[in-house]
Structure 1
Amino acid sequence: MALAGPSHTTPPKQNQWTFVGEHDLEPGLFGGEPELKVSEKLKDRLCSPWKKTLVVRLLGRSISYAYLCSQLRWEWRQTGRLDILDLNDRTFLVTFHNDQDFLHALTGGPCTILDHYLVVHQWSPSFRTADKPHKSVVAWIQLPELPVHFYHREVLFALGNLIGRTVKLDYHTENMERGKFARIAVELDMTKPMATRIRLDGFWQPVLYENVPEICFECGRIGHTEESCSKKVCNVPNVSLTTKTHVLPIEGSSPSSESPVGYGPWM
């Protein structure tokens, strides 16, 4: 006999183990100690929610979690949801729910909070909280007066990889809407001197940098000033630095010359 009205039957519970396949987790021993092997398919599923996540490390004294959250939201001005997880007092995971917000935060250049520099890099499955802070920063470089026939996506990616690790091409560069310079976001190694030029098809191509903080005039590295430099390197190429709209003049030298001079206060 059927009864009229809404049903109050409790829906069956879903199997909580459907996420893990039959051979996704394999327990065993490694050198006599317990080990759990995880399949590549399961790792892909586990990592999927973290693909738009940045690791943020604070260099300097720690600040409160609430203050960091407010400052990051103000700095990045995201349009979508933003989740911030504190791992310890200097390391945070920031997960974005919007692709454009994620790329803007990753490639928008370095930022500081209370005069302390933030090291920001993309999360990866190999990340461990106990790891030493990344010595890298994502910044925009410019390749002024690059010959037009080199404005090709694969060529530009290869050029960026000579400077660091190419992260993104500027939209106008990729679509060749502006020909004054090519603009590429790269991950720079803070432990190495900044490249000032690259050799391309037989000629020297100057490299300009945008909004890179704390450049040492002594060794050309990022992350400290000349006063605190522990490496006295004099014979290094010349760096050309830019702001967002203007190239700083270089008096008496050219980054494309055959005999580059050392770094100096003109930076």
Structure 2
Amino acid sequence: MEDVAPKVSYRTKLMGSQNSTDPFQALEDFEVQEGNVKTEVINGIPSIIFFERVHKFVEMKMAKTMVIKLLGRKITFNAILNIITILWKTKSYFQLMDLENDYCLVQFNDKEDFKNVLTKGP
């Protein structure tokens, strides 16, 4: 039986979970400090500016992430997860997050898996 990555919604990933056994919850703690964010209102429009430390953290987290678009007919989240797990044959877990409009976000645990899927995978 093949390992299947756990189903995690974008909201769950974004908000986190204190009692999850999800291996992807083992991310290092990152706390936005007071000097890392500037908020202001420009012409009645709220603006949030993140400084270098936050940008570097996001860049590091997104380095092994890709957005995929489903083409053709609509299929369920679990079907997508099963299909790409079989097709990609990754060495370690990856996380699939369902976005809207037939897009998904895939975050890989292993950089080699990411490179292989990006350059060789369907």
TM-score normalised per structure 1: 0.33
The alignment of Structure 1 onto Structure 2 pairs a total of residues equal to 94
Q: What letter is aligned with 1:83?
A: Q
Give 1:36's aligned residue.
48
- Partner SS for 1:68: helix
Pair 1:67-2:82 in alignment: no
- The root-mean-square deviation of aligned C-alpha atoms, in Å, is 1.9
Q: Which has the higher helix share?
A: 2
Pair 1:56-2:91 in alignment: no
Give 2:104's aligned residue.
92
Give 2:14's aligned residue.
none
Pair 1:102-2:114 in alignment: yes
CA shift, 1:27, in A, is 1.1
CA shift, 1:47, in A, is 3.5
- Partner SS for 1:94: strand
Higher RCO (Cα < 8 Å, 6 or more apart): 2
Confirm or deny: 8 A CA contact 1:63 1:89 kept in the other structure: no
Deviation readout 1:187-225 (Å, 9 max, x if unpaired)? xxxxxxxxxxxxxxxxxxxxxxxxxxxxxxxxxxxxxxx
Give 1:21's aligned residue.
33
CA shift, 1:34, in A, is 1.7
- Partner SS for 2:34: coil
Q: Distance in 2 between matches of 1:34 and 1:99?
A: 37
The residue correspondences of 1:1-12 to structure 2 (distance < 5 A) are none
CA shift, 1:52, in A, is 0.2
Give 1:265's aligned residue.
none
The runs of at least 4 aligned residues of structure 1 exceeding 4 Å deviation read none
Report percent identity of matched pairs: 26
Q: Distance in 2 between matches of 1:78 and 1:61?
A: 25
